[in-house]
C-alpha cells in the first residue's frame, strides 16, 4: 500500500516536474522546433495540451478529445515520424543521419469551437536529447546499481555524448570546408567565363557591324 503510494508520488512529480515550459498555439497553427543532433541519438519529447475554456476563463486541466499530430523530419526532409497522439503523451525517435531534425506539432482537430475553446490551446513541451533522455531510476533498477555506480554510469553517458558531438563537429566542419571550396571554384570559373563571354561578344559585335556597314557601303 505504501509502496503504491510511493510510486504514485514519483509518477505525479515526474510528470509535473518535467513539463514546466508552455506556450500557446492557434487552431490551425503549426509549431516547429529544430534539433541539430549527431546520429544514433535518442530524442524524447513529452507534451501536454490544455484547451482554453470560455466558461471558466482558464485552461481546462485536461482535454481528452483533442489529439496532437507530431511530425518529425530528418535532415534530408524525409518524414521519420508522423503520428497522431492523444492530448498528453510522449514521442520518441532516434536519429540515423546527423543534422537538423525538425519536430512539428499541430492539432489534428478543427473542431475546437465545439469544446468551447476560442482558438487558444496551451501546450506544455519538453524535448530531451541524448544523455538527458536517460531515466536513471529505471537503469538503476534494471542493472541493480548502487548509487555510486549510477553516478559513474551517468558520467560515462555524458562523456559519450561529448564524444558524439565532437564527431559530429568534425563532419560539420568538413561540410563547411566543402561549401567554401565550392564557392571558391564557382567564383573562379564564373569570373573567367564572364570575362571570356564579354571579350567574345565584343569581338563579334565589331566584326558583325563592320560587315554590316561594308554591305551598306557606308564604310
**Within 66-125, which residues bind other proteins (CB under 8 A)?**
125
Instruction: Single out the residue of 24, 69, 90, 120 in contact with other proteins (rule: CB under 8 A).
Output: 24
107 contacts 69 by C-beta, under 8 angstroms: yes
- Calculate ∠ Cα 24-29-33, nearest 5°: 75
| Between 23 and 111, CB nearer to other proteins | 23
H/E segment holding residue 153: helix 147-215
Distance, CA of 132 to CA of 135 (rounded, Å): 8
| Between 54 and 151, CB nearer to other proteins | 151
Nearest CA-CA partner of 52 in 30, 25, 31: 25
Instruction: Single out the residue of 54, 209, 210, 214 in contact with other proteins (rule: CB under 8 A).
Output: 209
Phi, psi of 186 (to 5 degrees): -60, -45
Q: Which stretch binds other proteins (CB under 8 A): 50-58, 80-88, 111-119, 203-211?
A: 203-211
**Within 178-197, which residues bind other proteins (CB under 8 A)?**
179-180, 182-183, 186-187, 190-191, 193-194, 197
Per CB under 8 A, does 10 bind other proteins? yes
Instruction: Single out the residue of 94, 118, 202, 219 in contact with other proteins (rule: CB under 8 A).
Output: 202
Distance, CA of 189 to CA of 192 (rounded, Å): 5
**Within 115-174, which residues bind other proteins (CB under 8 A)?**
125-127, 132, 134-138, 140, 147-148, 150-152, 154-155, 158-159, 161-162, 165-166, 168-169, 172-173
H/E segment holding residue 93: strand 88-94
**Contacts of 20 by beta carbon, 8 Å cutoff, 6+ apart:** 124, 126
| Site size with other proteins, rule: CB under 8 A | 72
Per CB under 8 A, does 18 bind other proteins? yes
44 contacts 94 by C-beta, under 8 angstroms: no
**Within 35-54, which residues bind other proteins (CB under 8 A)?**
35-36
Instruction: Single out the residue of 205, 210, 214, 219 in contact with other proteins (rule: CB under 8 A).
Output: 205
Amino acid at each position: 500500500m505504501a509502496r503504491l503510494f510511493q510510486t504514485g508520488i514519483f509518477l505525479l512529480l515526474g510528470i509535473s516536474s518535467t513539463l514546466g515550459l508552455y506556450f500557446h498555439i492557434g487552431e490551425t497553427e503549426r509549431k516547429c522546433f529544430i534539433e541539430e543532433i549527431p546520429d544514433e541519438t535518442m530524442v524524447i519529447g513529452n507534451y501536454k495540451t490544455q484547451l482554453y475554456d470560455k466558461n471558466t476563463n482558464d485552461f481546462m486541466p485536461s482535454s481528452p478529445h483533442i489529439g496532437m499530430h507530431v511530425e518529425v523530419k530528418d535532415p534530408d526532409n524525409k518524414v521519420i515520424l508522423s503520428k497522431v497522439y492523444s492530448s498528453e503523451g510522449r514521442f520518441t525517435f532516434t536519429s540515423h543521419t546527423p543534422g537538423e531534425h525538425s519536430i512539428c506539432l499541430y492539432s489534428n482537430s478543427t473542431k475546437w469551437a465545439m469544446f468551447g475553446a476560442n482558438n487558444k490551446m496551451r501546450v506544455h513541451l519538453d524535448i530531451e536529447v541524448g544523455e538527458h533522455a536517460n531515466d536513471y531510476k529505471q537503469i538503476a533498477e534494471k542493472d541493480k546499481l548502487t548509487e555510486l555506480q549510477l553516478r559513474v554510469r551517468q558520467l560515462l553517458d555524458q562523456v559519450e555524448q561529448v564524444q558524439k558531438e565532437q564527431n559530429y563537429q568534425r563532419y560539420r566542419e568538413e561540410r563547411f570546408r566543402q561549401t567554401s571550396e565550392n564557392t571558391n571554384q564557382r567564383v573562379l570559373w564564373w569570373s573567367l567565363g564572364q570575362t571570356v563571354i564579354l571579350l567574345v561578344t565584343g569581338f563579334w559585335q565589331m566584326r558583325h557591324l563592320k560587315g554590316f556597314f561594308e554591305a551598306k557601303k557606308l564604310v
